[in-house]
Structure 1
Amino acid sequence: MNMTIKGILAALLLSISLGLSSGVLAQEVAPINVNTADAELLAELPGIGPSRADAIIEERETNGAFESAADLERVNGIGPATVDRMRDQVTFE
């Protein structure tokens, strides 16, 4: 009897964890347009906090729109590693 309860609990825990993970995997987040997003939205990108978000906005207002992820390196404090982390989460349209 004890083994049966353990088996049922193990199966239940497995089902719950699979259900939770599939919900997370199924959720997709729309890419952020760095040419139109406000500072609050930009700050959600990996490696970008409030001050870098403000710097992105200042850079695009001063020197024009970003055309690619690599263009974000124009912003002081954003290098190739940061760009690589956010590449799939940004758009430039």
Structure 2
Amino acid sequence: MKNTNVFRDFLTRLLFILSLSVVSLPALSATPLDINSATAMEFASVMSGVGMKKAQAIIAYREMNGPFDSLDQLTYVKGIGATLVMRNQALLRVVSPDKPDHSKAEVMQ
């Protein structure tokens, strides 16, 4: 009976830890983050080296200057350098607001 309680307690804790790790690791998402529609929270949770302050700066820059045409334009944001963009390149993408995003449709076919 005691072993059953220990196992149940262990299993409960393990499931809790796994559920937290899934919520806090959106960087493992299959689809890269669109820098023209991402929220500050998404930037901060996906990009390595970007906290809320830099994420909010990206949003502010985008609101003042319009959508990004390339990932390299992120370097125009104060606090975002070329090295930071290169480090996060695989996690990001640019979807032009005037062009539809067909990446999801291609995956579903």
* TM-score, normalization by structure 1: 0.67
The aligned residue for residue 79 of structure 1 is 81
Rounded Cα–Cα distance in structure 2 between residues aligned with 1:43 and 1:67: 21
- The alignment partner of 1:43 has SS state of helix
Rounded Cα–Cα distance in structure 2 between residues aligned with 1:85 and 1:29: 17
- The alignment of Structure 1 onto Structure 2 pairs a total of residues equal to 67
Rounded Cα–Cα distance in structure 1 between residues aligned with 2:49 and 2:30: 17
| CA RMSD, Structure 1 to Structure 2 (Å) | 1.3
Q: Which structure would you say has the larger RCO, counting Cα contacts within 8 Å and 6 or more residues apart? A: 1
Structure 1, unpaired ranges of 5+? 1-26
Rounded Cα–Cα distance in structure 2 between residues aligned with 1:66 and 1:47: 20
* TM-score, normalization by structure 2: 0.58
Any runs of at least 4 consecutive aligned residues in structure 1 with deviations exceeding 3 A, and if so which? Answer: none
| Percent of paired sites with the same residue | 36
- The alignment partner of 1:78 has SS state of coil
